[in-house]
C-alpha cells in the first residue's frame, strides 16, 4: 500500500501547478538521470563511443521544458537529454543515436548525444560551443516576422558566454526584441575551467543589461523555481517584450563527458556540497511539504525508467550500422552530378569493378 509522507504544516502548491504536475516533473527527472546513468555505462562497456551527461542538472531541463509547448522551438547543447525526452522525442530514437545505427536520424554522421527531432522542434545539436545561440535567435526573429505562435528556448553553458556567438546572438535579440529565452545553465565549469577563470562577472545574468533586456538568476536545482522563471520569460516573449536571460545556477555533478576526469580539477568536498541540494531531493522535499509525496515514487519510477531503457538498448543494439550509400542522402535537396559520380564510383568499388575512369576522382 502506498505510503504518504506529509509535512506537519502543509503548504500550497505554487505557480498554478497541481499535484499531478509535480509528480510528472519528478518522474521526468528520474528518467533523465537514469538515461544519463545508462549512457555512461554503455560507453564504459565499449558499446557506444561517447557520452556527455547532465547528472545534477535535471531541474534546469525539466523546469524549462515543462514551461514549453508544441509551438516552441528548442536549440540545446549536448547536455540536455531531458528536454528531448520531455518534449516528445522518442526514447528509441535517442538510443539509436547513441549507437549510431541504421535507424539513427542522422545516419551515424554525428557523435552520440547529438539528437535532432523535426516534429518536436528540437534542432540538431552541435559540439561547437555557442552556435545554437545565434541559430535560436534567427529562428525567433523568423517567428516574429512571420507572426507565428511560439517562442525559442536556447540553452548554453557558462563557458559559452565567452564565445563570439554569445555577443552576436544577445545583441541581435535585444535589438529586434526576438521572442527567445536564453537558458544559461551555469554549472560552474566549462570542462576544467572554473567560472572564476571564465569571467569577472559574479552574476552571469547581469550580462543581459549590456544588451538591453532582462537577466534573472535562479536556483537551478529547484525545478519549481526554474519553471516559474521560465513561464514568466515565456509570457514576456509572447507579449512582445523581448528576450530574457535566465541564469540557472547549478552544478555538473558528473564528468564533462566520458572522456573527462573531474577529480583532476575539483575536489570531492565541493561536489558533495552541491549534492546536498540534489534536484530530485529538492523536489521531493517540496512534495512532502505539499502533502503529495508517495514513498513508492523513488523505486517505482526508477524501475520504470530502467525497464524502458533496457528495452531501447536491446532494440538499438540489434540494428546494424548505416549502409555506405547513406553517405549520399540528406546532403542536398537535389543530388548534383558530382555527387552522383562519386556515388557511382564507390558503388563500383564495392562491387569489385574497375571503371578505369579518366582523370581524377570527382570532387
| Residues recognised as catalytic | 252, 256, 265
The packing angle between helices 279-290 and 223-238, to 10°, is 90
How many Å apart are CA 201 and CA 73, to the nearest integer? 29
Radius of gyration of the CA atoms of the chain, in A: 22
| Tally of CA atoms within 13 A in the half-sphere of 128 that contains its CB | 9
Closest-CA residue to 28 (of 97, 83, 77, 96):
83
Amino acid at each position: 500500500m502506498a505510503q504518504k509522507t506529509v509535512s506537519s504544516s502543509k503548504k500550497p502548491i505554487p505557480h498554478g501547478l497541481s499535484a499531478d504536475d509535480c509528480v510528472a516533473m519528478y518522474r521526468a527527472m528520474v528518467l533523465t538521470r537514469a538515461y544519463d546513468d545508462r549512457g555512461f555505462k554503455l560507453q564504459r562497456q565499449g558499446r557506444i563511443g561517447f557520452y556527455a551527461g547532465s547528472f545534477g542538472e535535471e531541474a534546469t531541463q525539466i523546469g524549462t521544458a515543462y514551461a514549453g509547448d508544441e509551438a516552441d522551438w528548442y536549440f540545446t547543447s549536448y547536455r540536455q537529454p531531458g528536454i528531448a525526452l520531455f518534449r516528445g522525442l522518442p526514447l528509441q530514437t535517442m538510443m539509436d543515436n547513441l549507437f549510431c545505427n541504421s535507424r539513427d536520424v542522422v545516419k551515424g554522421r554525428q557523435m552520440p548525444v547529438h539528437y535532432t527531432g523535426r516534429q518536436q522542434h528540437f534542432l540538431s545539436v552541435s559540439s561547437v560551443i555557442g552556435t545554437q545561440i545565434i541559430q535560436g535567435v534567427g529562428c525567433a526573429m523568423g517567428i516574429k516576422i512571420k507572426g507565428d505562435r511560439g517562442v525559442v528556448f536556447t540553452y548554453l553553458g557558462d563557458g559559452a558566454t565567452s564565445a563570439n556567438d554569445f555577443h552576436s546572438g544577445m545583441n541581435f535579440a535585444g535589438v529586434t526584441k526576438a521572442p527567445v529565452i536564453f537558458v544559461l545553465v551555469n554549472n560552474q565549469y566549462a570542462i576544467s575551467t572554473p567560472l572564476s577563470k571564465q569571467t569577472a562577472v559574479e552574476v552571469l545574468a547581469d550580462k543581459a543589461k549590456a544588451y538591453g533586456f532582462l537577466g534573472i538568476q535562479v536556483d537551478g536545482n529547484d525545478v519549481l523555481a526554474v519553471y516559474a522563471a521560465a513561464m514568466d520569460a515565456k509570457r514576456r516573449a509572447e507579449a512582445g517584450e523581448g528576450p530574457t536571460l535566465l541564469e540557472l545556477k547549478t552544478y555538473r555533478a558528473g564528468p564533462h563527458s566520458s572522456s573527462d576526469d573531474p577529480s583532476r580539477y575539483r575536489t570531492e568536498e565541493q561536489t558533495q556540497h552541491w549534492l546536498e541540494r540534489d534536484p530530485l531531493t529538492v523536489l521531493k522535499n517540496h512534495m512532502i511539504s505539499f502533502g503529495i509525496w508517495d514513498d513508492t515514487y523513488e523505486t517505482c519510477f526508477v524501475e520504470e525508467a530502467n525497464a524502458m531503457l533496457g528495452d531501447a538498448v536491446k532494440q538499438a543494439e540489434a540494428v546494424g550500422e548505416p549502409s555506405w550509400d547513406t553517405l549520399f542522402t540528406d546532403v542536398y535537396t537535389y543530388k548534383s552530378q558530382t555527387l552522383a559520380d562519386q556515388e557511382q564510383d564507390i558503388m563500383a568499388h564495392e562491387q569489385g569493378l574497375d571503371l578505369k575512369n579518366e582523370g581524377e576522382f570527382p570532387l
